[in-house]
């Protein structure tokens, strides 16, 4: 009996511990994953609500649209941009190389979606030296521009 339990555990354990596939792998070799259940983990790049459904852009070596229900995304708060690190999520769903429901686009239809890590604001300090340099270059270019305009007004046209 112990042998059977041990053998059963060995057979069932690897699929349960399967590592997530990267989005880059899905996009590089979509024919290998077409219409199969996959697990991806990545950063939320954008959230687009459309009634009872939501499109979530997930980035991890590439960007893919994840199609899911509104209830799955209620705890997603932060999408990535210049000032924010997006929420890290894990999604289990069916990958479509050419989704018949969405006009032939590559997408992932989520069955489950979990928040792994909350996003946060990235602190960015203003560099005062760069601000001073930009203002001085703006002033110098304005001065040169005005000087050239005055010079052009005092000169006769070139056809004389």
User: Nearest CA to 23 among 55, 53, 48, 57?
Assistant: 57
List the structure tokens of 29: 């070799």
Q: Which residues pair with 115 in a beta bridge?
A: 89
Element (H, E) at 59: strand 53-59
Q: pLDDT at position 151, please?
A: 76
Average pLDDT over residues 7-31: 71
**Residue 69 neighbours by CB distance under 10 Å:** 13
Please check the confidence at residue 17 and state whether its pLDDT lies above 50: no
Q: pLDDT at position 102, please?
A: 83
List the structure tokens of 138: 């703006």
- Tell the residue number behind the tokens 């990545």, with chain if given: 42
Show me where the domains of the chain are located. Answer: 18-121
pTM over 0.85: no
- Give CA angle at 101 (75, 113), nearest 5°: 20
Pairing of strands 120-121, 84-85: antiparallel
Please check the confidence at residue 88 and state whether its pLDDT lies above 60: yes
Q: pLDDT at position 160, please?
A: 60
pLDDT (tens digit per residue) in 28-86: 999 999 999 999 999 999 999 989 999 999 999 899 999 999 999 999 999 999 899 99
Alpha helices in the chain (DSSP H): 2-16, 23-28, 30-33, 128-154
Average pLDDT over residues 118-147: 93
Q: pLDDT at position 101, please?
A: 85
Could you say which of 3.10.450.50, 3.20.20.10, 1.10.1050.10, 2.40.50.140 is the CATH number of the domain covering 18-121? 2.40.50.140
Average pLDDT over residues 113-117: 95
Please check the confidence at residue 18 and state whether its pLDDT lies above 60: no
Pairing of strands 107-117, 63-69: parallel
List the structure tokens of 13: 């354990």
């Amino acid at each position: 009996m112990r042998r059977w339990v041990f053998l059963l555990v060995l057979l069932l354990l690897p699929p349960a511990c399967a590592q997530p596939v990267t989005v880059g792998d899905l996009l590089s070799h979509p024919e290998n994953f077409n219409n199969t259940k996959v697990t991806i983990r990545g950063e939320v790049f954008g959230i687009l609500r459309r009634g009872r459904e939501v499109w979530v852009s997930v980035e991890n070596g590439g960007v893919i649209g994840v199609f899911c229900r509104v209830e799955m995304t209620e705890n997603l708060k932060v999408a990535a941009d210049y000032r924010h690190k997006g929420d890290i999520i894990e999604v289990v769903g069916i990958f479509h190389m050419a989704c018949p429901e969405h006009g032939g686009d590559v997408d992932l239809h989520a069955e489950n979606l979990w928040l792994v890590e909350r996003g946060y604001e990235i602190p960015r300090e203003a560099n005062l030296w760069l601000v001073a340099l930009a203002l001085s270059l703006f002033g110098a270019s304005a001065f040169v521009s005005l000087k050239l305009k005055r010079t052009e007004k005092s000169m006769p046209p070139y056809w004389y």
